Amino acid sequence: MSLVSIEAASSGGAPALPSRETLARAALAIAAGAAWLFFAFVTENWPDVGEWGRGPELALAAGGFGGALVFAGLLGGFFPRGAERLRRYTPWLLALGLFFTLWQATTAKFALLPQPFFPPPHALVEVFADDWPKLWESVVASIRLELLGFVAGALAGFVVGVSLGWSRAFGYWVHPVMRLIGPMPSIAWLPIAFFAFPSSFSASIFLIGLTTGFPVAVLTWSGVASVNAAYYDVARTLGASRAFLIFKVAIPAALPHVFVGLFMGLGASFAVLVTAEMMGVKAGLGFYLQWAQGWASYANMYAALLVMSLMCSGLITLLFRLRDRLLSWQKAEVQW
Protein backbone atom coordinates (compact mmCIF):
# COMPACT_ATOMS: atom_id res chain seq x y z
CA MET A 1 0.00 0.00 0.00
CA SER A 2 1.26 3.44 -0.87
CA LEU A 3 0.78 4.78 2.62
CA VAL A 4 3.39 2.43 3.94
CA SER A 5 5.99 3.63 1.50
CA ILE A 6 5.16 7.25 2.18
CA GLU A 7 5.59 6.73 5.88
CA ALA A 8 8.82 4.90 5.32
CA ALA A 9 10.19 7.67 3.12
CA SER A 10 9.29 10.32 5.66
CA SER A 11 11.01 8.55 8.53
CA GLY A 12 14.39 8.95 6.91
CA GLY A 13 15.16 5.65 5.19
CA ALA A 14 14.62 3.14 7.96
CA PRO A 15 11.61 1.19 6.63
CA ALA A 16 9.42 1.51 9.73
CA LEU A 17 5.77 0.58 9.45
CA PRO A 18 3.40 3.50 9.99
CA SER A 19 1.91 3.52 13.44
CA ARG A 20 -1.68 2.52 14.08
CA GLU A 21 -2.51 6.14 14.81
CA THR A 22 -1.10 7.36 11.52
CA LEU A 23 -3.13 4.79 9.63
CA ALA A 24 -6.33 5.61 11.50
CA ARG A 25 -5.75 9.31 10.88
CA ALA A 26 -5.27 8.77 7.16
CA ALA A 27 -8.23 6.40 6.94
CA LEU A 28 -10.51 8.94 8.60
CA ALA A 29 -9.46 11.74 6.28
CA ILE A 30 -9.91 9.50 3.23
CA ALA A 31 -13.29 8.30 4.45
CA ALA A 32 -14.42 11.88 5.01
CA GLY A 33 -13.18 12.81 1.56
CA ALA A 34 -15.00 9.82 0.06
CA ALA A 35 -18.24 10.88 1.75
CA TRP A 36 -17.98 14.35 0.20
CA LEU A 37 -17.08 12.90 -3.20
CA PHE A 38 -20.11 10.64 -2.96
CA PHE A 39 -22.23 13.64 -2.01
CA ALA A 40 -20.93 15.45 -5.08
CA PHE A 41 -21.64 12.41 -7.25
CA VAL A 42 -25.20 12.05 -5.97
CA THR A 43 -25.84 15.76 -6.41
CA GLU A 44 -24.54 15.82 -9.99
CA ASN A 45 -25.57 12.47 -11.41
CA TRP A 46 -28.81 11.38 -9.81
CA PRO A 47 -31.76 13.19 -11.38
CA ASP A 48 -33.65 15.80 -9.38
CA VAL A 49 -37.40 15.30 -8.91
CA GLY A 50 -38.00 19.05 -9.15
CA GLU A 51 -36.51 22.37 -10.22
CA TRP A 52 -33.64 23.61 -8.04
CA GLY A 53 -30.73 25.71 -9.20
CA ARG A 54 -27.03 25.63 -8.37
CA GLY A 55 -26.74 21.80 -8.31
CA PRO A 56 -23.67 21.66 -10.58
CA GLU A 57 -21.86 24.38 -8.63
CA LEU A 58 -22.51 22.59 -5.35
CA ALA A 59 -21.34 19.30 -6.83
CA LEU A 60 -18.16 20.94 -8.05
CA ALA A 61 -17.42 22.52 -4.67
CA ALA A 62 -18.22 19.35 -2.71
CA GLY A 63 -16.18 17.25 -5.15
CA GLY A 64 -13.21 19.58 -4.86
CA PHE A 65 -13.43 19.54 -1.09
CA GLY A 66 -13.73 15.74 -0.99
CA GLY A 67 -10.79 15.37 -3.35
CA ALA A 68 -8.69 17.67 -1.18
CA LEU A 69 -9.55 15.62 1.90
CA VAL A 70 -8.53 12.36 0.22
CA PHE A 71 -5.32 14.00 -0.95
CA ALA A 72 -4.61 15.26 2.55
CA GLY A 73 -5.20 11.78 3.94
CA LEU A 74 -2.73 10.27 1.49
CA LEU A 75 -0.04 12.86 2.14
CA GLY A 76 -0.62 13.12 5.89
CA GLY A 77 2.49 11.06 6.59
CA PHE A 78 4.68 13.85 5.25
CA PHE A 79 3.12 16.58 7.40
CA PRO A 80 2.44 15.07 10.82
CA ARG A 81 1.74 18.49 12.36
CA GLY A 82 -0.90 19.44 9.80
CA ALA A 83 -2.37 15.94 9.79
CA GLU A 84 -2.75 16.11 13.56
CA ARG A 85 -4.66 19.37 13.26
CA LEU A 86 -6.89 18.01 10.50
CA ARG A 87 -7.54 14.90 12.61
CA ARG A 88 -9.57 17.04 15.02
CA TYR A 89 -12.08 17.85 12.29
CA THR A 90 -12.24 14.68 10.20
CA PRO A 91 -14.89 12.88 12.30
CA TRP A 92 -17.17 15.89 11.93
CA LEU A 93 -16.35 16.24 8.23
CA LEU A 94 -17.17 12.60 7.67
CA ALA A 95 -20.48 12.94 9.53
CA LEU A 96 -21.34 16.10 7.58
CA GLY A 97 -20.55 14.46 4.25
CA LEU A 98 -22.88 11.57 5.10
CA PHE A 99 -25.55 13.94 6.40
CA PHE A 100 -25.49 16.06 3.25
CA THR A 101 -25.73 12.94 1.10
CA LEU A 102 -28.70 11.73 3.10
CA TRP A 103 -30.30 15.18 2.95
CA GLN A 104 -29.75 15.32 -0.82
CA ALA A 105 -31.17 11.83 -1.34
CA THR A 106 -34.26 12.30 0.83
CA THR A 107 -35.18 15.66 -0.73
CA ALA A 108 -34.13 16.40 -4.30
CA LYS A 109 -33.56 12.83 -5.41
CA PHE A 110 -36.41 10.74 -3.96
CA ALA A 111 -38.61 13.37 -2.28
CA LEU A 112 -39.00 11.16 0.79
CA LEU A 113 -39.42 14.31 2.90
CA PRO A 114 -42.57 16.29 2.08
CA GLN A 115 -41.95 18.90 -0.58
CA PRO A 116 -41.63 21.87 -0.78
CA PHE A 117 -41.11 22.15 2.97
CA PHE A 118 -37.71 20.47 2.93
CA PRO A 119 -35.58 22.01 0.18
CA PRO A 120 -32.35 20.25 -0.87
CA PRO A 121 -28.86 21.61 -0.14
CA HIS A 122 -28.41 23.21 -3.55
CA ALA A 123 -31.59 25.22 -3.03
CA LEU A 124 -29.92 26.82 -0.03
CA VAL A 125 -26.79 27.39 -2.06
CA GLU A 126 -28.96 29.13 -4.59
CA VAL A 127 -30.36 31.43 -1.89
CA PHE A 128 -26.91 32.34 -0.60
CA ALA A 129 -25.61 32.89 -4.12
CA ASP A 130 -28.52 34.96 -5.42
CA ASP A 131 -30.03 36.64 -2.38
CA TRP A 132 -26.95 37.43 -0.31
CA PRO A 133 -27.33 41.23 -0.55
CA LYS A 134 -30.72 41.06 1.14
CA LEU A 135 -29.54 38.52 3.69
CA TRP A 136 -26.50 40.64 4.49
CA GLU A 137 -28.66 43.71 4.86
CA SER A 138 -30.91 41.77 7.24
CA VAL A 139 -27.97 40.58 9.35
CA VAL A 140 -26.62 44.11 9.66
CA ALA A 141 -30.05 45.42 10.64
CA SER A 142 -30.50 42.66 13.22
CA ILE A 143 -27.08 43.13 14.77
CA ARG A 144 -27.59 46.87 14.93
CA LEU A 145 -30.93 46.57 16.70
CA GLU A 146 -29.68 43.82 19.00
CA LEU A 147 -26.55 45.70 20.03
CA LEU A 148 -28.35 49.00 20.60
CA GLY A 149 -30.90 47.31 22.83
CA PHE A 150 -28.44 45.02 24.57
CA VAL A 151 -25.87 47.69 25.36
CA ALA A 152 -28.50 50.13 26.58
CA GLY A 153 -30.19 47.45 28.70
CA ALA A 154 -26.92 46.08 30.07
CA LEU A 155 -25.72 49.55 31.09
CA ALA A 156 -29.04 50.42 32.71
CA GLY A 157 -29.23 47.04 34.46
CA PHE A 158 -25.67 47.39 35.69
CA VAL A 159 -26.26 50.85 37.13
CA VAL A 160 -29.53 49.75 38.74
CA GLY A 161 -27.85 46.63 40.17
CA VAL A 162 -24.93 48.55 41.68
CA SER A 163 -27.28 51.18 43.10
CA LEU A 164 -29.52 48.50 44.60
CA GLY A 165 -26.50 46.90 46.24
CA TRP A 166 -25.24 50.19 47.57
CA SER A 167 -28.09 52.51 48.39
CA ARG A 168 -30.92 51.73 50.78
CA ALA A 169 -33.04 54.65 49.56
CA PHE A 170 -32.69 53.55 45.94
CA GLY A 171 -33.64 50.02 46.92
CA TYR A 172 -36.73 51.23 48.76
CA TRP A 173 -38.18 52.72 45.59
CA VAL A 174 -36.79 50.53 42.85
CA HIS A 175 -36.90 47.07 44.38
CA PRO A 176 -40.74 46.75 44.44
CA VAL A 177 -41.01 48.06 40.89
CA MET A 178 -38.39 45.62 39.71
CA ARG A 179 -40.09 42.72 41.48
CA LEU A 180 -43.35 43.57 39.79
CA ILE A 181 -42.11 44.20 36.26
CA GLY A 182 -38.91 42.20 35.97
CA PRO A 183 -40.18 38.62 35.83
CA MET A 184 -42.82 39.39 33.19
CA PRO A 185 -41.73 38.50 29.64
CA SER A 186 -40.92 41.78 27.89
CA ILE A 187 -42.72 40.58 24.78
CA ALA A 188 -45.98 41.23 26.62
CA TRP A 189 -45.22 44.95 26.31
CA LEU A 190 -44.94 44.67 22.56
CA PRO A 191 -48.43 45.79 21.53
CA ILE A 192 -48.28 48.78 23.85
CA ALA A 193 -44.66 49.60 23.03
CA PHE A 194 -45.41 49.82 19.30
CA PHE A 195 -48.04 52.46 20.08
CA ALA A 196 -46.19 54.32 22.79
CA PHE A 197 -42.88 54.73 21.00
CA PRO A 198 -42.38 56.97 17.99
CA SER A 199 -41.19 54.03 15.87
CA SER A 200 -41.24 50.27 16.05
CA PHE A 201 -37.43 50.45 15.96
CA SER A 202 -37.18 52.47 19.17
CA ALA A 203 -39.89 50.32 20.75
CA SER A 204 -37.80 47.24 19.96
CA ILE A 205 -34.68 48.80 21.48
CA PHE A 206 -36.71 49.38 24.61
CA LEU A 207 -37.98 45.80 24.70
CA ILE A 208 -34.57 44.26 24.10
CA GLY A 209 -33.11 46.58 26.73
CA LEU A 210 -35.78 45.58 29.23
CA THR A 211 -35.14 41.89 28.59
CA THR A 212 -31.40 42.32 29.03
CA GLY A 213 -31.59 44.76 31.89
CA PHE A 214 -33.56 42.64 34.32
CA PRO A 215 -31.15 39.69 34.73
CA VAL A 216 -28.16 42.03 34.60
CA ALA A 217 -29.63 44.18 37.38
CA VAL A 218 -30.53 41.22 39.59
CA LEU A 219 -27.17 39.51 39.21
CA THR A 220 -25.15 42.70 39.57
CA TRP A 221 -27.11 43.45 42.71
CA SER A 222 -26.53 39.99 44.16
CA GLY A 223 -22.88 40.21 43.17
CA VAL A 224 -22.42 43.53 44.95
CA ALA A 225 -24.36 42.29 47.97
CA SER A 226 -22.25 39.14 48.28
CA VAL A 227 -18.86 40.87 48.20
CA ASN A 228 -16.72 39.59 51.08
CA ALA A 229 -17.04 42.25 53.81
CA ALA A 230 -13.36 41.75 54.63
CA TYR A 231 -12.47 43.39 51.29
CA TYR A 232 -14.17 46.55 52.46
CA ASP A 233 -12.37 46.41 55.82
CA VAL A 234 -9.02 46.05 54.08
CA ALA A 235 -9.72 48.90 51.70
CA ARG A 236 -11.06 51.18 54.45
CA THR A 237 -8.03 50.70 56.68
CA LEU A 238 -5.87 51.57 53.69
CA GLY A 239 -7.63 54.90 53.26
CA ALA A 240 -10.25 54.11 50.60
CA SER A 241 -12.98 56.65 49.86
CA ARG A 242 -16.59 55.67 49.19
CA ALA A 243 -16.02 55.98 45.45
CA PHE A 244 -12.98 53.72 45.72
CA LEU A 245 -15.05 51.14 47.61
CA ILE A 246 -17.68 51.16 44.85
CA PHE A 247 -15.49 51.30 41.75
CA LYS A 248 -12.36 49.48 42.88
CA VAL A 249 -13.80 46.95 45.31
CA ALA A 250 -17.51 46.26 44.88
CA ILE A 251 -17.68 46.34 41.08
CA PRO A 252 -14.60 44.23 40.30
CA ALA A 253 -15.62 41.73 42.97
CA ALA A 254 -19.14 41.54 41.50
CA LEU A 255 -18.01 41.24 37.88
CA PRO A 256 -18.27 37.43 37.63
CA HIS A 257 -21.92 37.72 38.68
CA VAL A 258 -22.48 40.56 36.24
CA PHE A 259 -21.32 38.34 33.41
CA VAL A 260 -23.76 35.61 34.36
CA GLY A 261 -26.47 38.26 34.07
CA LEU A 262 -25.11 39.44 30.72
CA PHE A 263 -25.19 35.90 29.32
CA MET A 264 -28.73 35.36 30.53
CA GLY A 265 -29.79 38.73 29.17
CA LEU A 266 -28.17 38.19 25.78
CA GLY A 267 -29.78 34.78 25.40
CA ALA A 268 -33.22 36.09 26.28
CA SER A 269 -32.87 39.17 24.10
CA PHE A 270 -32.52 37.10 20.90
CA ALA A 271 -36.09 35.90 21.32
CA VAL A 272 -37.31 39.48 21.67
CA LEU A 273 -35.25 40.62 18.71
CA VAL A 274 -36.72 38.03 16.35
CA THR A 275 -40.25 38.55 17.62
CA ALA A 276 -40.00 42.32 17.33
CA GLU A 277 -38.66 42.00 13.79
CA MET A 278 -41.49 39.64 12.85
CA MET A 279 -44.15 41.81 14.46
CA GLY A 280 -43.27 45.29 13.40
CA VAL A 281 -39.72 46.20 12.48
CA LYS A 282 -39.45 46.09 8.71
CA ALA A 283 -35.85 44.89 8.64
CA GLY A 284 -33.63 42.19 10.03
CA LEU A 285 -33.54 38.41 9.91
CA GLY A 286 -36.87 38.04 11.70
CA PHE A 287 -38.49 40.17 9.05
CA TYR A 288 -36.70 38.21 6.32
CA LEU A 289 -38.09 34.98 7.76
CA GLN A 290 -41.57 36.44 7.84
CA TRP A 291 -41.24 37.68 4.30
CA ALA A 292 -39.92 34.34 3.04
CA GLN A 293 -42.84 32.58 4.68
CA GLY A 294 -45.22 34.92 2.89
CA TRP A 295 -43.74 33.81 -0.43
CA ALA A 296 -43.51 30.18 0.68
CA SER A 297 -39.78 30.31 -0.08
CA TYR A 298 -38.69 27.56 2.21
CA ALA A 299 -35.08 27.56 1.10
CA ASN A 300 -34.84 31.25 2.06
CA MET A 301 -36.24 30.46 5.47
CA TYR A 302 -33.67 27.76 6.15
CA ALA A 303 -30.91 30.01 4.89
CA ALA A 304 -32.10 32.78 7.22
CA LEU A 305 -32.27 30.35 10.14
CA LEU A 306 -28.71 29.24 9.47
CA VAL A 307 -27.49 32.84 9.31
CA MET A 308 -29.43 33.68 12.45
CA SER A 309 -27.87 30.86 14.43
CA LEU A 310 -24.42 31.94 13.24
CA MET A 311 -25.17 35.50 14.30
CA CYS A 312 -26.42 34.54 17.77
CA SER A 313 -23.54 32.17 18.30
CA GLY A 314 -21.13 34.87 17.15
CA LEU A 315 -22.54 37.41 19.59
CA ILE A 316 -22.33 34.92 22.47
CA THR A 317 -18.75 34.17 21.46
CA LEU A 318 -17.92 37.87 21.54
CA LEU A 319 -19.33 38.11 25.05
CA PHE A 320 -17.23 35.11 26.10
CA ARG A 321 -14.14 36.80 24.69
CA LEU A 322 -14.93 39.96 26.62
CA ARG A 323 -15.41 37.96 29.80
CA ASP A 324 -12.15 36.06 29.31
CA ARG A 325 -10.38 39.37 28.89
CA LEU A 326 -11.93 41.11 31.89
CA LEU A 327 -11.91 38.08 34.18
CA SER A 328 -8.53 36.68 33.19
CA TRP A 329 -7.64 36.64 36.90
CA GLN A 330 -10.09 33.80 37.48
CA LYS A 331 -9.00 30.22 37.17
CA ALA A 332 -9.89 28.86 33.74
CA GLU A 333 -13.57 28.13 33.35
CA VAL A 334 -15.68 26.62 30.57
CA GLN A 335 -14.35 27.02 27.07
CA TRP A 336 -17.04 28.23 24.68
Partner 1 sequence: MVSLAHDISTVPGVEIAVKDVSHRFDLEGAPLPVLDRVNFTAQRGEFVALLGPSGCGKSTLLRLVAGLEPPTQGGITANGEPIAGPDPSRVVVFQDPTLFPWRNVRDNVALGLEAQGLLKLRGARVEETLLLVGLEDFAKAFPHQLSGGMAQRVALARALVNDPDLLILDEPLGKLDSLTRLSMQGEIVNLWRRAGFTVLLVTHDIEEALLMATRVIVFSERPASIKADIAIDKPYPRHRDDPDLVARRREILGLLGLDASW
Judged by the rule CB under 8 A, the positions of this chain that interact with partner 1 are 228, 230-231, 233-241, 244, 248-249, 252-253, 255, 327, 329-331
Closer to partner 1 by CB, 109 or 236: give it: 236
Cβ neighbours around 85 below 10 Å, total: 10
Say what the alpha-carbon torsion angle 5, 6, 8, 10 is, to the nearest 10 degrees: 160
Tell me the C-alpha distance between 165 and 170, whole Å: 9
We find the least distance from the C-beta atom of residue 224 to partner 1, in angstroms, to be 14
Pick 177 or 243: Cβ nearer partner 1: 243
Q: Which is nearer to partner 1, 253 or 306 (CB)?
A: 253
Q: Does residue 204 contact residue 145 with C-beta atoms inside 8 Å?
A: yes
d(CA 26, CA 39): 20
- Minimum CB–partner distance for residue 232 and partner 1 (Å): 9
> C-beta of 332: minimal distance to partner 1 in Å?
11
Residue 61 or 327 with smaller CB distance to partner 1: 327
Contact call for residues 249 and 235 (beta carbons, < 8 A): yes
Return the HEC string of 25-65.
HHHHHHHHHHHHHHHHHHHHHCCCCCCCCCHHHHHHHHHHH
Cα separation of 148 and 155, whole Å? 11
Helices (H) and strands (E) in the chain, counts: 14, 0
CA angle, corner 87, sides to 29 and 74, nearest 5?
Answer: 35
Nearer to partner 1, 42 or 219 (CB): 219
User: By C-beta, is 20 or 242 nearer to partner 1?
Assistant: 242
Is cis: bond before 191, omega within 30 of 0?
no
Is the separation of the CB atoms in 104 and 90 below 8 Å? Answer: no
| Upper half-sphere CA count for residue 42 (Cβ side, 13 Å) | 24
User: How near is the Cβ of 221 to partner 1 at its closest, in Å?
Assistant: 19
CB of 253 to partner 1, least distance (A): 7
Nearest distance from C-beta of residue 251 to partner 1, angstroms = 10
Is residue 281 within 8 Å of residue 287, measured between CB atoms?
yes
- Nearest 5°: the CA angle 36, 40, 42 is 115
Q: Which is nearer to partner 1, 14 or 229 (CB)?
A: 229
Between 60 and 234, whose beta carbon lies closer to partner 1? 234
Least distance (Å) between residue 261 CB and partner 1: 18
CB of residue 233 to partner 1, shortest distance in Å = 6
241: exposed, middle or buried (Cβ count in 10 Å: 0-12, 13-18, 19+):
exposed
> Closest separation between CB of residue 230 and partner 1, Å?
5
CB closer to partner 1 out of 123 and 250: 250
- What DSSP designation does 199 have? S
